[in-house]
């Protein structure tokens, strides 16, 4: 039997909104450790990995490992029916082919339960090795989202270049070119407004803005984002979920020769 009770239910709503643009169907994996998901986007270019650790739930019971296949748009439709202050409980009986989402209003006057049929989804769980990155940029998540959105009005790809002084985002398109430089800045009033560069060596990589823009749907989950870059690895765009875990997006850099082949 599975029963996960999350007082801050709005968090689960935000998690769904973060990934449903990228992923259509996915397996949610429940174990004693936590509630997790790993899925490729429909074009098999980007990967998303979610972890919500069991300690973050008010109540967490998972008798045996369970993989629940769901259509994320349908889950999102149901979760959007939860109030922002609602407590959300996810329930599934062993062997059952349904999952139930229960929403309780803070004063307990309104209780809703939504039941959804589970799906069989083929998925291979990729092992993602821990890696050393040439550069890690930590910056306000809203700033990163704004930059990706702004550059998308000019071009399709972005070159992210990191030096000790800062990080530069560049693009070019029919109407012109754009460069946005964010300087390292550790001495701000609020730590979540800092831009911090951890760099082993300078790195400069090209990515499709379309995917980065999808990743930034996770902005409401965290005030900061960490972007880990290495020439020979996919970029990791990580949003920490306070006291619970994270959502991480992986995207392979574009290689020059790819430009003509991938739209």
CB of 34 to a second copy, least distance (A): 25
Task: Residue 218: name the closest of 23, 8, 3 by CA.
Answer: 23
| Residue 40 sits in the site that holds a second copy (CB under 8 A) | no
Distance from C-alpha of 186 to C-alpha of 194, rounded to nearest angstrom: 5
Q: Within 13 A of 82's CA, how many CA atoms are on the CB side? A: 29
Out of 24, 179, 200, 231, point to the residue binding a second copy (CB under 8 A).
179
Let me know if 69 is exposed, middle or buried by CB neighbors in 10 A (0-12, 13-18, 19+): middle
| Sites for a second copy among residues 87-116 (CB under 8 A) | 98, 107-116
Q: Is 186 in the site for a second copy (CB under 8 A)?
A: no
CA–CA distances in Å: residue 195 to residues 204, 225, 227:
18, 10, 11
**Per-residue binder mask for a second copy (CB under 8 A), 189-208, x = binder:** ------x-------------
* Interface residue with a second copy, options 65, 153, 200, 231 (CB under 8 A): 153
Which residues, in sequence order, are bridge partners of residue 3? Answer: 61, 91
Specify whether the CB–CB gap between 112 and 82 falls below 8 A: yes
Report, in Å, the least distance between residue 129 CB and a second copy: 34
Nearer of residues 154 and 233 to a second copy, judged by Cβ: 154
Asked whether position 182 contacts a second copy by CB under 8 A, the answer is: yes
Q: Which residues of this chain interact with a second copy, rule CB under 8 A? A: 71, 74, 77-78, 80-81, 98, 107-117, 143, 150-151, 153-154, 175-183, 185, 195
């Amino acid at each position: 039997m599975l029963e996960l009770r999350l007082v801050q239910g709005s968090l689960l709503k935000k998690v769904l909104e973060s990934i449903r643009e990228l992923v259509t169907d996915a397996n949610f994996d429940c174990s004693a450790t936590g509630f997790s998901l790993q899925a490729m986007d429909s074009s098999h270019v980007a990967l998303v990995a979610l972890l919500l650790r069991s300690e973050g739930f008010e109540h967490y019971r998972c008798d045996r490992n369970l993989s629940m296949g769901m259509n994320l748009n349908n889950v999102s439709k149901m979760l959007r029916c939860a109030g922002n202050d609602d407590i959300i409980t996810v329930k599934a009986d062993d062997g059952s082919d349904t999952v139930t989402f229960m929403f309780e209003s803070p004063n307990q006057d309104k209780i809703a339960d939504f039941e959804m049929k589970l799906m069989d989804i083929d998925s291979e769980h990729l092992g993602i090795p821990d890696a050393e990155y040439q550069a890690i940029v930590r910056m306000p998540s809203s700033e990163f989202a704004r930059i990706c959105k702004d550059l998308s009005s000019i071009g399709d790809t972005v070159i992210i270049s990191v030096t000790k002084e800062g990080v530069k985002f560049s693009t070019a398109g029919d109407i012109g070119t754009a460069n946005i430089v964010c300087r390292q800045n550790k001495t701000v009033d609020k730590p979540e407004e800092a831009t911090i560069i951890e760099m082993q060596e300078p790195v400069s990589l090209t990515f499709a803005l379309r995917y980065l823009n999808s990743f930034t749907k996770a902005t409401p989950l965290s005030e900061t984002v960490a972007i880990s870059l290495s020439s020979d690895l996919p970029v990791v765009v990580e949003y920490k979920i306070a006291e619970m875990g994270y959502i991480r997006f992986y995207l392979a850099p574009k290689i020059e020769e790819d430009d003509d082949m991938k739209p």
